[in-house]
Copies of this chain bind each other. A is one copy, B any other.
Amino acid sequence: MENGTDSPAEGTEGVESQVRQIATRARDAARALAAADSDAKISALRAAATAIRGNAAPLLDANAKDLAYAREKGLTAAMTDRLLLDQGRIEAMAAGLEQVAELPDPVGDIMAEWERPNGLRIARVRVPLGVIGIIYESRPNVTADAGSLCLKAGNAAILRGGSESLHSSTVIADCLRDGLRQANLPVDAVQLVPTRDRAAVGAMLRMADLIDIIVPRGGKSLIERVMAESRIPVIAHLEGNCHIYVHEGADPAMARDVTLNAKMRRPGVCGAAESLLVDQAAANSQLPGIVDVLSEAGCEVRGDDRARAIDPRVVPATEQDWDTEYLDAIISVKIVDGLPDAIDHINRHGSHHTDSIVTRDQSAADTFLQRIDSSIVLHNASTQFADGGEFGMGAEIGISTGKLHARGPVGAEQLTSFKYVVRGDGQVRP
What residues make up the interface of A, taking CB atoms closer than 8 Å to B?
A: 31, 34-35, 114, 116, 120, 122, 127, 129-130, 212-213, 233, 251, 254, 257-258, 260-262, 265, 347, 365, 369-371, 373-382, 384-385, 387, 390-392, 402-405, 407-408, 417-429
Q: A261-B428, A405-B404 are in contact. Are A420 and B375 (CB under 8 A)?
A: yes
Q: A35-B371, A261-B428, A417-B404 are in contact. Are A422 and B212 (CB under 8 A)?
A: no
Q: A403-B130, A427-B385 are in contact. Are A116 and B375 (CB under 8 A)?
A: no
Least distance between A91 CB and chain B CB atoms (Å): 21
Residues in B neighbouring A369, C-beta threshold 8 A:
421, 423
Least distance between A233 CB and chain B CB atoms (Å): 5
Asked whether, in the complex, the Cβ of A425 is within 8 Å of the Cβ of B377, the reply is no
C-alpha spacing A300/B260, complex, angstroms: 74
C-alpha spacing A425/B408, complex, angstroms: 21
C-alpha spacing A129/B404, complex, angstroms: 8
The SS class assigned to the A binding surface is: mixed
Residues in B neighbouring A405, C-beta threshold 8 A:
404-405
Least distance between A157 CB and chain B CB atoms (Å): 16
Residues in B neighbouring A120, C-beta threshold 8 A:
381, 385, 390
Asked whether, in the complex, the Cβ of A428 is within 8 Å of the Cβ of B213, the reply is no
Candidates B371, B380, B423, B429; contact of A425 at CB < 8 Å: B380
Q: A233-B233, A375-B420 are in contact. Are A258 and B426 (CB under 8 A)?
A: yes
